[in-house]
Structure 1
């Protein structure tokens, strides 16, 4: 339900960028960020809040106190408790290697705008559920889930460079100025400003850093993965953690490769040494330039995937779980194909051809009770024509010029 508001605020941010005479959103990076948002929410359709089961169980069987749901104190305790736990969830996602493998998705963009706020891992919800379990002894599940959602919604708007400062509120709340530091790859930005709504936790626990006005913040990962393929960005670091695990010779080091920090090396502290950190300086931004027609094509197909996801989200409860899984896989596959075309990968044409034909087959073989037949026919014809186009392109191999420019 919040997505229309997300898109509205993204439009407003672009208007501000025009007024400030600054570069607008890049279509490839923006669609990649939104694709991660769709992938994360597709995962929720499959897991169906399974990561919260332990919280429900503890509250039902082991709660120490039953707070009245309609008392202000219950809401205040829930708000502060959730935000406090979020600080430690977020910190753990930066300091525990296997958790960072999922959370790095959120930091993978070289831009910093509202769209980046939606760039999340499909497993993000599972990364930190254990940190919230102490609240289950006191806070009712309905309050916990409500404030967890409020906490995440608040964090959407702090992903912007258009808001410079909020004055005295900077001392208490997490703001765009503080969160810009958190997303930076500069040495002074690393592992700082973990707060969700409140920045006071960082001030208390020594992880706060002010934004430096004389040093340009470089966004993205320290070691960037140049790609607009959301499936690759979701999985590549987990593969790296597995490689690190296999490369270690002792079980102590193998476990450390999973549960210690990303910078850990054998014989060094859990989080690595400060002198081993890489100094990141302003660098070229990965930006494959493709023809206008291709951008329009990808935007149309992405919009169709958004509409398809909306229909799936509305009706998934009444569908067979296998059907839901099938369409989730198709959505992720479609977003992957779009990313491959943005990357101008050699086999992207064939992948896109297969994707179009799969949807045509699904439309012909399955019953779509809640979708207008004329609309289904329109989609079928459109995807047949799209598949035919990419078949012709794949015969001669589509050549799209590419260029990387520094913003």
Structure 2
């Protein structure tokens, strides 16, 4: 009994750090692919909680802020929920079709050599999609959301884009053409994503400081928190560096590696940092800005370049823009989220309650009719739009919030789908209590809007004075 428990814990821990044996990762068919994320999730959550407690104990509250965590988790629910409905296995079906009809070789799925090849090949594909997401403006408009957090902790890892599934698959298709079994590829894709959780970390120092010789060796081959801190930095030396997800060797090979500097604190976020916590807005605003840039171009060629050159490109500049045009962001202060504690708690409870609805959809997806997950994911979008509008103090926020609360209560009465599962019953209770607070919520949201407007006006005055 004890040995079985220890074996299960060991498996979960090793899954979180890409440390499973080849035999444990062997998988012959997509239908039998293990859900390694579910296995590793308790370990990741425990590590994230320990990190949060450590940050708080050290008095570094600016590196773990609750409103940022809420946006991060909500982004994951929105992105994964929409992908679940929009793609419904299409990506896996594509890999299977290409493998069965167009592959030029056949690699055994239960070979140690195939395991090693898969590790290197999947990481190679991940390096290039990640690099393309930074160097192609159209793809950056999607990837931007992951870099928009001003904090750096393990809860930043799930802050992903709803648009990522539209392009990421293209970088993995060549691997199945070359004979990598789709199930093997998906296993390594899972393990690679899981590994990135611990690298989103501003607490763990360079491993070479902790374990002098072994740490140097690990940092030469593997991506570590120090490497990934650089990737998330807005400092000039950090931009477009350290794309690796698991291995840092491709960055060293293709000259995109940068060492973390001891004498220059990293500023996290994007170059043009927004004072916004709108869950929907952080997803779609970069695309709106890109479209405005495209429309401002005078020729079709420049329109195409605005889409497919770097996000910093302007007419007459090199593909990735001019280095001298990049602003210096050293020492930049973070935007503050100043609201009453009860209002912050209200947003937290509702955002997490909505996220639990996503988990419910995900757990019962295969049991549902086609229309049922669509309705629930549409509700997720509406709910996050309402909560996000309240986050940002938008005028329509309180009205939208009341509308989504009433809608869910009506749906939970009209359809057993919404009424039966315990999590949806709990969410209905949260919605009912939230309705009672709607006048106070509207007042708090209006106060936040007024403060933001005053701050924006003061910032404009400062710019004029300069």
Q: Would the TM-score normalized by the shorter structure come out above 0.5?
A: yes
After alignment, is 278-287 or 252-261 more displaced? 278-287
Q: Distance in 1 between matches of 2:91 and 2:151?
A: 30
After alignment, is 279-288 or 363-372 more displaced? 363-372
Among residues 340, 343, 360, which one is paired with 1:291 in the alignment? 340
Q: Distance in 1 between matches of 2:52 and 2:104?
A: 49
Match of 1:307 in 2: 356
Match of 1:33 in 2: 72
Instruction: Kindly indicate whether residue 180 of structure 2 is the aligned counterpart of residue 139 of structure 1.
Output: yes
In the TM superposition, what is the alpha-carbon distance from 1:3 to its structure 2 partner? 4.2
Among residues 68, 77, 82, which one is paired with 1:43 in the alignment? 82
Q: Distance in 1 between matches of 2:56 and 2:307?
A: 44
Q: Distance in 2 between matches of 1:226 and 1:140?
A: 45
After alignment, is 87-96 or 3-12 more displaced? 3-12
1:52-107: CA deviations, max 9, x gaps? 44322221112122222111111111111000111111100000110000001100
Instruction: Kindly indicate whether residue 236 of structure 2 is the aligned counterpart of residue 187 of structure 1.
Output: yes
Among residues 59, 80, 89, which one is paired with 2:129 in the alignment? 89
Match of 2:285 in 1: 236
> Are residues 271 and 351 of structure 1, via their aligned partners in 2, closer, same or farther at CA, if it must alter by over 3 Å?
same
Q: Distance in 2 between matches of 1:372 and 1:112?
A: 35
SS in structure 2 of the partner of residue 252 of structure 1: helix
In the TM superposition, what is the alpha-carbon distance from 1:392 to its structure 2 partner? 6.4
TM-score (structure 2 length as normaliser): 0.82
| Contact 1:89-1:131 at 8 Å conserved across structures | yes
1:171-192: CA deviations, max 9, x gaps? 1111100111110011111000
More helix by share: 2
Alignment of 1:66-105 (within 5 A): 66-105=106-145
| Contact 1:97-1:257 at 8 Å conserved across structures | yes
Alignment of 1:305-344 (within 5 A): 305-344=354-393
Among residues 255, 273, 292, which one is paired with 2:304 in the alignment? 255
In the TM superposition, what is the alpha-carbon distance from 1:50 to its structure 2 partner? 2.0
> Are residues 257 and 52 of structure 1, via their aligned partners in 2, closer, same or farther at CA, if it must alter by over 3 Å?
farther
SS in structure 2 of the partner of residue 109 of structure 1: coil
Q: Distance in 1 between matches of 2:413 and 2:67?
A: 31
> Are residues 378 and 386 of structure 1, via their aligned partners in 2, closer, same or farther at CA, if it must alter by over 3 Å?
same
> Are residues 394 and 204 of structure 1, via their aligned partners in 2, closer, same or farther at CA, if it must alter by over 3 Å?
closer
SS in structure 1 of the partner of residue 371 of structure 2: helix
| Contact 2:141-2:287 at 8 Å conserved across structures | yes
After alignment, is 272-281 or 258-267 more displaced? 272-281
Q: Could you list the structure 1 runs, at least 4 aligned residues long, displaced by more than 6 angstroms after superposition.
A: none
TM-score (structure 1 length as normaliser): 0.93
Among residues 429, 433, 446, which one is paired with 1:385 in the alignment? 433
Match of 1:61 in 2: 101
1:198-219: CA deviations, max 9, x gaps? 1010111001111111111111
Match of 2:48 in 1: 10
> Are residues 381 and 204 of structure 1, via their aligned partners in 2, closer, same or farther at CA, if it must alter by over 3 Å?
closer
Q: Distance in 1 between matches of 2:352 and 2:150?
A: 23
CA RMSD of aligned residues (A): 2.2
After alignment, is 379-388 or 236-245 more displaced? 379-388
| Contact 2:393-2:445 at 8 Å conserved across structures | no
Alignment of 1:125-136 (within 5 A): 125-136=165-176
1:303-348: CA deviations, max 9, x gaps? 3212211111111222232221121121122123222222233332
Q: Distance in 1 between matches of 2:279 and 2:141?
A: 14
Note the residue ranges of structure 2 that are not aligned, 5 or more in a row: 1-37, 209-215, 456-466
> Are residues 301 and 369 of structure 1, via their aligned partners in 2, closer, same or farther at CA, if it must alter by over 3 Å?
closer
Instruction: Kindly indicate whether residue 393 of structure 2 is the aligned counterpart of residue 352 of structure 1.
Output: no
| Contact 1:52-1:129 at 8 Å conserved across structures | no
Among residues 154, 164, 167, which one is paired with 1:114 in the alignment? 154
